[in-house]
Amino acid sequence: MKLLEEKIRKEGTVLPGDVLKVGSFINQQMDVPFLSLCADELVRLYEGEIITKVLTVEASGIGFACLVAERLGVPALFAKKSKTSNMSGSCWSAPVASYTHGVTNTVMVPSDFLTSDDSVLIVDDFLATGSALKGLISLCGQAGAHVCGCGILIEKAYQNGGEEVRAMCRVESLARISKMSESGISFI
């Protein structure tokens, strides 16, 4: 999606440690009209799929996942990174390593929110190593839910995550970075 690539070039910043900062329009501050256009494109790419739920992981992907879910007319569900006192009953859980935070969390969703009746579109802001998507796919597998595919805003295609996840299910990324450094970003 050329609009997203242009926005990344204009507003994104490459930080040390191979981190792309897009906080001005995706993470800390959300450009809702722009992300709405991205949600429209992702929904178009999955047109014809039967989707009953949009699943993401806490926290950066929630806003985008909600926009996608709203367009599809289905609930948005997010996997929490820690169990809270208001989560009762059984949960599906999986380990997820965070690339930007350098920690591994056990993400979970209540088993009554994700079932074998669900056909799930997994949505996230980034795809790098694929850990978050593999964890969410695992949650769906535990529940017996069907994974329609994954919808990603930005993929670091030079890392192995996209290839690994594509071996498991369909992946549609709106922007695929082939190379990035402090001097610039290239797209596929």
Question: What CATH number does residue 102 fall under?
Answer: 3.40.50.2020
Q: What pLDDT is attached to residue 94?
A: 97
139-161: average pLDDT: 97
Domain annotation covers residue 103:
yes
pLDDT-above-70 percentage for the chain? 98
Domain annotation covers residue 110:
yes
Q: What pLDDT is attached to residue 87?
A: 73
Within its chain, how far is the Cα of 82 from the centroid?
18
Residue 83 pLDDT greater than 90, yes or no = no
- The CA–CA distances, whole Å, from 57 to 35, 60, 61, 182 equal 17, 8, 7, 28
Domain annotation covers residue 143:
yes
Residue 136 pLDDT greater than 80, yes or no = yes
Let me know if 111 is exposed, middle or buried by CB neighbors in 10 A (0-12, 13-18, 19+).
middle
Domain annotation covers residue 28:
yes
Q: What pLDDT is attached to residue 98?
A: 81
Residue 86 pLDDT greater than 90, yes or no = no
The reported pTM is 0.95
| Structural domain count, the chain | 1
Which comes out higher in pLDDT, residue 27 or 120?
120
104-131: average pLDDT: 96
**Average pLDDT taken over every residue of the chain:** 94
Residue-range definition of the domain harbouring residue 100: 2-82+92-187
Residue 27 pLDDT greater than 90, yes or no = no
pLDDT 10s digits, 39-65:
999 999 999 999 999 999 998 899 999
Q: What pLDDT is attached to residue 54?
A: 98
100-119: average pLDDT: 93
Give the residue among 119, 112, 115 at the shortest CA–CA distance from 72: 119
Domain annotation covers residue 99:
yes
Give the residue among 113, 116, 122, 109 at the shortest CA–CA distance from 54: 122
Domain annotation covers residue 87:
no
